Chains A and B, each alone.
Chain A
C-alpha cells in the first residue's frame, strides 16, 4: 500500500512533536566539531579548544532562553533532565527536611516525569498527587492551590509541564509559580514542546528548573539541558567526573552541544514568524478536517490556548492506529499520541485525564507542525482524511465487534 504513493509524492512529515528534522546548519556544525580532537575537561590546548566551544555554546543557549550560562546543565535530553529535576529536587528537599514528602504535579505529564514520580513514590517514600485537568487539558489551578494550602511544609516540589506534548494545551505556569513561591516550594517545568514555538524566558518564568531538548527544535537527538537556578540544591543522578556543576557527570559531548546551540539560536531567531505561520497551518488543518469529517472533535483548546504547531483530533468509531497506518501508506506521517517503545497502542493517559472514554482516546491523531511544514502538508491531509476515516471506521467495527460470524 505504501511504496507506489510515497514514490510519487514527497513525505508529509507532521510529527514534529516527536522529533523535528535537523537544520542543515546544525548538521554542519556538529560535523565540524566532531572532526576536532579534545576532551573539554582536558587541560592541554585541544582540551581548552573543546571547552571554549562548549562554553560558547552554553552562552548561546542561555541567551536564547534568557538564563545565565551557569544555569545551563547539559544532559542527554528531555528524559534525563526530567529525571534529574524531579528526583534531584525531591532528594535534596527531603534530605533538608524529612517532612517534605509530597510531590504535586498534573495528571497529563510526559512519562519521563510521571514515571519518575511513580518511582519516587514506590522507592523513596514520596507521596505523589496528580492534580486534575479540565476538558481542554488545562491544569486545575484551584486544586493545586488547595493541595498546597492543606500542608505547605510537606511539599517537596511541584512539577507541571509548560505545554502538553500530546494535545498541545498550554499550562497556567504563572499561577503555579505564584502558588508555590508563597511557600518557597521549588517548581520544575518540562518545556520541551514550547521552545522554538513560543517565547521561552527562564528568568521571567520564576521556575527553579526547566527541561529543554535538542531534537524538538531542529537540533541533534541525545542532547538537552536542565536549566537550573544557581541557588537550587539538587542531588545528582549520574555520578562520576562531576563535569556539569557537580549535578551531572559524563564526558561533555561537545559536538552535540554545539548542535544544540546552533539549533537554539535558529529556533529562537525565527520564532515569532514561525509561531504565526505554524498557528495558521494548524488552524487551517483543524478547520478543514472538521469540515470534512463533521463528527471529528478537536482535543485541547482552540487558538492561543494551544501550541502553534499542534492539532489533535478524535475520530469517533475509528482506531487511531488504523488511521495512522492508512495515512502512513499515503506518505502522511503523524502520531496517535506520544510514541510508545513497544509499538503497542494504549489509550492516552492525557485524554483519559481530560475525561475522554477509552474508545475516543484510542481514536485520536496528533498532527504536529514545525520548521519544514507548508500549506501543501495541510492540503494532503485534507485530501486523505475522508477515505482514511471511512476505512478505519469499517475496520474499527470489524476489529472490536464479534468479527466474522
Chain B
C-alpha cells in the first residue's frame, strides 16, 4: 500500500472478496536512517501514514517492509547503469519485476501468504487450463499492463489486480464511499526516487556532468552539451543549439553515444523506426507462434502499434507496420494479442527496414 487511492481500494476489494489481507507499505529509501530525522522530507512518511490510515479504515493489519537495499540494488543502480550505457530504462517496470512481484512476493509466500494484491490497473483471467492471462484494464487511459509486461506466469499466478475492471474515476468515488481519506489524493507520475522530479539533474549529480559535442547525422558539430545524461532519444526541447537548422525545422535527439559523449540531433523523420531488435523475451502465458501478427506498446501509456513479431534464437524481432518515433534502447516492447499481454522483450536496437 503506497499511500495512494489505488492500493487502498485494491486492499478493500481484496478483503471484500473474502481474502485474509495484510497491508504492506514498502520503505524504499536507501538510507533508512533518514526516516528518523526526516532528512528525506515529509512525503515518504506522509505516504506511509496515509497507507496506515487506509489500513485502519479497511480494518486490516499493516506493516512497513524495508526493501531499501534491494530497491537500491535492483532499481536505482540499474537505472543509473542503463543511462550510463546510453539506454532509457523504465524503473517502474524494473520495480515490478524485481521488487513488488519478486522480493515482496517471495517473502510473502514464505510467510504464508498466497498472493500479492496491488492497485495496478490490469486484469487477470484464469483459463480453463489453469494458466493465468493478463489483459489490459477496462480503463485504457489508466491501463498499466505495460509496466507489468515483464512478469512471468509464476508471478501472475500469485498476483491479484482488483482494480482492472473499473475506471479510475469510479475508484475515486468508491474510495470516497468507503471513507478512505486518500480518495482525492493526486496521482503520482514522477520517478519515486527522484523526489524533485528533475531526472536530468539527478543523473548529472550521480553520473557526472561532462561537456560533449552535439552533432548532426553527418557528424558536423552544432554545439556542445553539458552531459549526455540529460537527454533522451526523441527529445526536442532544451537542446540549446545556437544556430537554427538550415531548413528551419525543429531538431530532435536521434542518438546518445555515452562512450564518446556525443549527442546526435536531426529532423523528426530521422527518428522514425520500424524495426526493433528485442532481447531477453519473456512470455507470460505460454510460448507464442514463431511469427505473430500482433500489437506492441513501447512505453507506459504509449500508443498501441500494429506489428509482426518473430521469435528468433533467444530474441524477438519486431516489424512495425507504421514507423514509431523516439524509440530508445532499454525500453521494453510489450506484445499484445488483442487485450491480452503475450510477453515482452527489452529493445536492444531500433532501425529502419529500408534506409531513409
Contacts and interface: CB of A to CB of B under 8 A. Distances in A.
Nearest to B38: A342
B20 A343 contact: no
B111 interface: yes
A240 interface: no
B167 interface: no
Contact of A343 (B33, B48, B98): B48
A346 B36 contact: yes
Interface residues of B, number: 35
A399 B45 contact: no
A345 B102 contact: no
Given A342-B48, A398-B109, A403-B98, A321 B65 contact: yes
B63 interface: yes
A404 B111 contact: no
Given A329-B61, A404-B155, A399 B107 contact: yes
Contacts of A341: 36
B259 interface: no
A342 B36 contact: yes
Interface in B112-163: 112-113, 152, 154-155
A344 B106 contact: no
Contact of A342 (B35, B110, B154): B35
Contact of B27 (A1, A322, A344, A403): A344
A325 interface: yes
B105 interface: yes
A245 to B, nearest CB: 32
Contact of A326 (B32, B65, B109, B111): B111
B312 interface: no
A391 B110 CA distance: 6
B117 to A, nearest CB: 14
8 contacts: A1-B22, A326-B112, A328-B61, A343-B64, A344-B27, A345-B64, A345-B66, A400-B69
Interface of A: 1-4, 321-322, 325-326, 328-329, 340-346, 391-392, 394-395, 397-400, 403-404
B168 interface: no
B103 interface: yes
A346 B155 contact: no
Contact of A404 (B61, B65, B105, B112): B105
Interface string B29-64: 000110110000000010010001000000001011
Nearest to A346: B32
Contacts of B65: 321
A391 B107 CA distance: 9
Given A397-B110, A400-B70, 17 more contacts: A1-B112, A2-B20, A326-B111, A326-B112, A340-B36, A342-B36, A345-B64, A346-B36, A391-B110, A392-B111, A395-B106, A395-B108, A395-B111, A398-B103, A398-B106, A403-B70, A404-B101
Nearest to A322: B111
B356 to A, nearest CB: 42
A45 B20 CA distance: 58
Contacts of A3: 20
A345 B63 CA distance: 10
Nearest to B73: A402
Contact of B110 (A321, A329, A346, A398): A398
B184 to A, nearest CB: 24
Task: Indicate the member of B22, B70, B110, B155 with the most A CB atoms within 10 Å.
Answer: B110
